[in-house]
């Protein structure tokens, strides 16, 4: 989502994974790092895990220092966005004029996608097809470069498919809440639980292992061991718990982690 002073045009042409386009971004491009200024970067759960581990800080500290809370349109769900620097350019805190992104290998999903956009998950589920489109901005000169890609090659190069896989449970929650719209009211407690589980993995770990959570819910020893050792497994477990809590909680309060979901980063 780009500041309105910049024209952001999404060409209404469907692209597939085999569609070809020219694009490249490097220090030699005249607009290098311009796309890292005056931008609204919504962070996903896996983004935060990657970045807080890269900085060697807790998720509590990362959220407090580097993010601002927003409400996601049409869902009422709280989401963290990158807190920009209070400078003339309103820069991402991790960008430098010469070096570019200081955490490039662990950059957010929104940065990895650019300049390819993807239709919402609800569209994909309705049609059965991936729907991609090109994002063109007046300030971006990367489109004038000669390097050619297919959409699939670009996504693989940028690591987008991996990001999407680990965020899948979160995406399901957002899409499901969006389908209910604002008619499905959430209590303040539910919003706080959603935020903690999705974005504060260290806070969720304390909630699971330092409260009565494991006494209230019957969780297999294998799963308990997995989520104790692997924060990606803990994150996926949290998505399943939220799904049960918010959308399909049975009268006895039981839930079962989704079968077949990949729960580790290996």
* Cα gap 107→219, rounded to integer Å: 34
Tens-digit pLDDT profile for residues 105-118: 999 999 999 999 88
Mean pLDDT estimate for the chain: 86
Tens-digit pLDDT profile for residues 175-205: 988 887 665 678 889 999 999 999 999 999 9
Q: What residues does each domain of the chain span?
A: 8-39+84-166, 171-246
Report whether 46 contacts 166 (CB < 8 A): yes
* Cα gap 51→45, rounded to integer Å: 10
Tens-digit pLDDT profile for residues 126-169: 445 678 999 888 889 999 999 999 999 999 999 999 999 999 99
Burial class (CB in 10 A: 0-12, 13-18, 19+), 220: exposed
Report whether 224 contacts 233 (CB < 8 A): no
């Amino acid at each position: 989502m780009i500041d309105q002073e910049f024209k952001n045009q999404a060409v209404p042409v469907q692209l597939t994974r085999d569609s070809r386009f020219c694009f490249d971004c490097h220090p030699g491009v005249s607009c290098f790092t311009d796309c890292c200024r005056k931008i609204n970067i919504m962070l996903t759960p896996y983004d935060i895990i990657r970045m807080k581990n890269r900085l060697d800080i807790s998720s509590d500290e990362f959220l407090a220092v580097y993010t601002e809370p927003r409400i996601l349109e049409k869902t009422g769900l709280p989401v963290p966005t990158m807190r920009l620097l209070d400078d003339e350019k309103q820069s991402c805190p991790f960008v430098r004029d010469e070096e570019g992104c200081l955490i490039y290998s662990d950059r957010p999903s929104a940065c990895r996608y650019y300049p390819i956009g993807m239709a919402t998950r609800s569209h994909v589920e309705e049609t059965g097809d991936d729907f991609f489109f090109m994002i063109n901005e007046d300030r971006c000169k990367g489109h004038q470069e000669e390097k050619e890609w297919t959409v699939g090659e670009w996504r693989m190069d940028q690591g987008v498919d991996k990001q999407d896989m680990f965020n899948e449970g979160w995406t399901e929650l957002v899409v499901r809440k969006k389908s209910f719209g604002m008619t499905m009211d959430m209590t303040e407690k539910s919003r706080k639980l959603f935020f903690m589980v999705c974005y504060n993995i260290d806070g969720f770990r304390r909630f699971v292992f330092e409260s009565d959570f494991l006494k209230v819910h019957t969780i297999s020893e294998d799963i308990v061991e997995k989520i104790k050792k692997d924060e990606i497994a803990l994150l996926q477990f949290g998505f399943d718990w939220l799904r049960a809590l918010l959308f399909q909680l049975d009268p006895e309060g039981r839930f079962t982690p989704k079968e077949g979901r990949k729960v580790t980063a290996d």
